[in-house]
Amino acid sequence: MKNQHFATAVALAAGLVATALPAAAQEQVLNLYSARHYSTDEALYADFTKATGIKINRVDADDAGILARLKAEGAASPADVILLVDAARLYKGEAEGLFKPVKSKVLEDAIPAQYRGTATAEGTPWFGFSTRARVIVYDKIKVKREDVDTYEELGDPKNKGRICIRSGSHPYNLSLFGAVTEHLGEAKAQEWLKGVQANLARDPKGGDSDQIKAVAAGECQIAVSNTYYIARLMRSSNPEDRAAMEKVSVVFPNQQSWGTHVNIAGGAMAKNAKNPAAAVKFLEYLASPSAQNYFANGNNEWPVAKGVKTNNAALTAMSGGGDFKTETIPLAAVGANQVKIQQMLDRVGFK
């Protein structure tokens, strides 16, 4: 009798395991390494899980930390999708073979070619999902707009002793300088960098917000900043931030020539993704109109996907209605100039 009860119990247990296995196997998970740290992203991820049933496990770090982690983990990496916030870093991940190319008509139709990695027969290594412009901020009393309405003028002797800027080696500046090099050529770009260095009011230090505040405080008269730092100050609940913005004006450079330099936040599938189908679904989801607005507005940026417009009032006000001319060079080419630019900076003594 005992043996019969035992056999029944074993059979029951086996049945429970058999019924549990399919449910476990059906549970889909996406492992995300993200350099984005914005509160609106929580809603972005929750909406994806609600729509697809795919759970997101997220690891947060900065761009450099994520790339270093991927290299260290190698084939054992659990990462499926990588989100980074700079074209130079996306290019670095591509160049170091850390991404798995993706073939997706949804992404190719939605994301303009200049905001994607270098396409091959295997697919495209990364896609941009939001853009930010790198613009010039200036003292509205002491500086004439026409003296700062091009990037080239940052290196003109007329602006000697006027400029504040963060480190030339910061990825945001490496991308800007890489874009200028694409437009001017190496020889002229190096002379330009030498001119910018000669025009500094002080040694490079701090972030973009610090440069804006330095202009407002009279420490310098001209600065370079990503637009989302400006939008943050415009929308700030701190009266001092808003007061600082009342003392400065913003110009989107090179509207009469090649257009203003833009950088991106973007995503890629990790080379050793264990859940590639979920990874592609997530990247395609980021190109949808609802996700684009979450993705962009979380950091005061512009959506990238064709036909999607921003509803961010600060960006609209800053750009004079929302429309401005952007450069059209591929950001992959800008990223490829990174090492070259660092060598130029060393040669001209730009810190």
Please state, in angstroms and rounded to a whole number, the distance separating the CA atoms of residues 54 and 106: 19
- To the question of whether residue 115 is assigned a binding role by annotation, the answer is no
By the 8 A CB rule, do 111 and 287 touch?
Answer: yes
By the 8 A CB rule, do 192 and 157 touch?
Answer: no
Please state, in angstroms and rounded to a whole number, the distance separating the CA atoms of residues 286 and 163: 37
- To the question of whether residue 170 is assigned a binding role by annotation, the answer is no
* 27-58 as b/e: b if 16+ CB within 10 A: eeebbbbbbbebeebeebbeebeeeeebebee
Please write down the HEC assignment for all residues of 297-312: HCCCCEECCCCCCCCC
Please state, in angstroms and rounded to a whole number, the distance separating the CA atoms of residues 131 and 262: 6
Bridging pattern class, strands 163-164 and 248-251: unpaired
Closest by CA to 261, choosing from 147, 176, 189, 323, is 176
Please state, in angstroms and rounded to a whole number, the distance separating the CA atoms of residues 195 and 189: 10
- SS3 category, 101: coil
Name the token pair of 26: 């059906």
- To the question of whether residue 261 is assigned a binding role by annotation, the answer is no
Closest by CA to 302, choosing from 173, 128, 137, 180, is 128
Closest by CA to 101, choosing from 125, 119, 81, is 125
Count Cα neighbours of 253 within 13 Å in the Cβ-side half-sphere.
24
Name the binding residues: 37, 228-229
Name the binding residues for Fe cation: 37, 228-229
